Amino acid sequence: MTNTGITNDTHADTHTDANATRTIAAYAALTAKSPLQKTTVERRTVGEHDIVIDVRFSGICHSDIHQVNEDWGTGIFPMVPGHEIAGVVSEVGPGVTKWKAGDRVGVGCFVDSCRTCDNCRAGQEQYCTGGATFTYNAIGRDGRPTYGGYAKEVVVDENYALRIPDNLPLDAAAPLLCAGITLYSPLTHWGAGPGKKVAIVGLGGLGHMGVKIAHALGADVTVLSQSLRKREDGVKLGADDYRATSDPATFTELAGRFDLVVNTVSADLDLSAYLGLLRTDGTLVQVGAPEKPVSVNAHALLLGRRSLAGSMIGGLRATQDMLDFCGEHGITAEIELIRADQINEAYERVLASDVRYRFVIDAATI
């Protein structure tokens, strides 16, 4: 069954098929805020329309840390984070038509949805009104807790896996499944392209993908970072301009400049100051997910008919479009590949903004 060397325990004999599980090696937080440690979890066995993915690489998203720390509310423990999953299909259920063993696939932030609501039908499963089933820290439609990609294997419905283009290495492609789509979606929705001026706030995991994708779409890209420390990197990634938000002159010099500002920062920023950077009819899109409510000065909105919007990941169709776009343009993440026993150290470094620009776990070390 698995390549983990771990065999199913006696659970398998005492359950009906529908309840049968497979035991998977994984890294989990056993309780809120606790360090991640090696353990095993029970996943469902392959169902009619399921595929088993031999996880090769799993990105570390800041959202993983938010959820382990219960920044957004009560979590489900043990929690196996990871929603930037890249791997290879190892088994398919009898009803599977899209995939075969050996296919290179990815799984992002959700693994199921109601499939019938307006949003699901429009390919915006992330906004499923029946509630999308998130890849971890959720209860799946099979009634079991979902577990993410810090694991040897995942079992998912065939429709919720995406094809990773052959020319993209799986390790550096893994972060596309969350960081990539989270920026591609608002950039394309709000028309980033030739003649458009786009600012990306925060040069971390999401931000650096935003710079690469906005540049490839043909937009003029400015990075707004806390300091000029990473300026050289930003320019290499495709930025036309790079400014420090710690310098008040940035906000006067760039006032009214941008068509689109995408804020990837989860810290409490003065959004009114960033709204002031927009031209008439410009949009500030919030993708960073702070713990606390944000507030804005209404004058910063009405002066210039500016919009404040939010955006969450992207639907299956958009995620496949993004992967194909990245394949055509040779875009992947800048990664630091780590062993699974370095996850806790990586979390500390992400929290200290010391990431260049995504940590990716080598699943062979789990």
Q: Which chain residues interact with Zn ion by CB under 5 A?
A: 61, 63, 178
CA atoms within 13 A on the CB side of 351: 12
- Residue selected from 205, 210, 315, 327 as contacting ligand NAP according to rule CB under 6 A: 205
Q: What is the four-CA torsion angle of 55, 56, 61, 64, rounded to 10 degrees?
A: 40
Q: Which three-class secondary structure state does DSSP give residue 295? A: coil
Q: How far apart are the first and last CA of the chain?
A: 17
- The reply on whether position 272 binds ligand NAP by CB under 6 A is no
Q: Which three-class secondary structure state does DSSP give residue 305? A: coil
Least distance CB 75 / ligand NAP (angstroms): 14
Contact 103, 170 (CB under 8 A): no
H, E, C per residue of 36-54: EEEEEEEEECCCCCEEEEE
Nearer to ligand NAP, 45 or 245 (CB): 245
Least distance CB 234 / ligand NAP (angstroms): 8
Pairing mode, strands 241-244 and 258-263:
unpaired
Among ligand NAP, Zn ion, none, what does residue 180 contact (CB within 5–8 Å per kind)? none
Nearer to Zn ion, 2 or 133 (CB): 133
What is the contact mask toward ligand NAP in residues 96 to 135, using x (rule: CB under 6 A)?
Answer: ----------------------------------------
Q: Which residue has the tokens 């935003």?
A: 210
Contact 152, 2 (CB under 8 A): yes
- Residue selected from 117, 228, 273, 289 as contacting ligand NAP according to rule CB under 6 A: 289
Among Zn ion, ligand NAP, none, what does residue 312 contact (CB within 5–8 Å per kind)? ligand NAP
Applying CB under 6 A, the residues found at the interface with ligand NAP are: 61-63, 66, 178, 182, 202-207, 225-226, 264-267, 287-289, 311-313, 350, 353, 355
